[in-house]
Amino acid sequence: MGLMRAQNRQGASHRDGSRFGLKVAEPVENGGLLEYFFGKDGKTCLQHERFVQFLRDLHDEILRLEFAHYDYRSCGTISAKDFAFSLIASADINHISKLLDRVDEVSNEPHIKDIRITFEEFQNFAELRRQLQYLSLAIFSYGKVNGVLAKKDFQRASLQVCGISITDDLVDIIFHVFDANRDGNLSSDEFVRVLQGRETAGCIPREPGLKGLMSCCANCTKNYSSAKRLL
């Protein structure tokens, strides 16, 4: 747990485990999660697969709560505009204004305003976010060779590199929000920058912004060669 805290910017400032702002002065390790993992006496061995499954279940539950936040009428689907809001939820404050304007425009776009996004689609995109380091490497490599990244290129990268199928409806909304000059192509740097804010846990760049992310991606190429199929 100490090692995990050291890899997290917020946790690094509380390496001793103290929980400031609470009435208790005991370290985090004395909480219920440690007992759940290691038993009341702290001597039970935690199997790796059990811990991995715990993280998967936690991620899925958080995702369901997020989807339910937008699906407040329990319809089983969310609107195109709400999905667009979820896309920019972690955007940098310096760029949020223009992104909000694009989200507001969703209601006026005949081809996307009536789209309804299912939880399965929402979940697939969340999984794509988790593999952002691989996806970004693919789309920047493809964009560098071809100059642009069209919708079909994005879907191809998602499927071939990440093994995730992204529906046409999802792509239409993504491109509406992240096609800055409305030329039909993805503004890749903006797209990656915004999504990086959501998925930093698995890839903590030493440098901020896009440069840091690409540096992280470069390290991944040593063990991940699927992106080459796009070149």
Q: What is the DSSP string of 104-169?
A: HGGGG-TTTTT-EEEHHHHHHHHHHHHTHHHHHHHHHHHHHHHS---HHHHHHHHHHHH-----HH
Average pLDDT, the chain: 78
Model pTM score: 0.69
Strand partners, 27: 18
221 burial type by CB count under 10 A (0-12 exposed, 13-18 middle, 19+ buried): middle
| Residue 195 pLDDT greater than 60, yes or no | yes
Model confidence over 196-212: pLDDT tens digits?
876 553 444 444 444 44
- As a whole number, mean pLDDT of residues 146-163 equals 85
Q: What is the DSSP letter of 77?
A: E
- As a whole number, mean pLDDT of residues 210-223 equals 47
pLDDT-derived band at 9, boundaries 50, 70, 90: low
- As a whole number, mean pLDDT of residues 128-134 equals 88
Model confidence over 92-115: pLDDT tens digits?
787 788 999 999 999 999 999 999
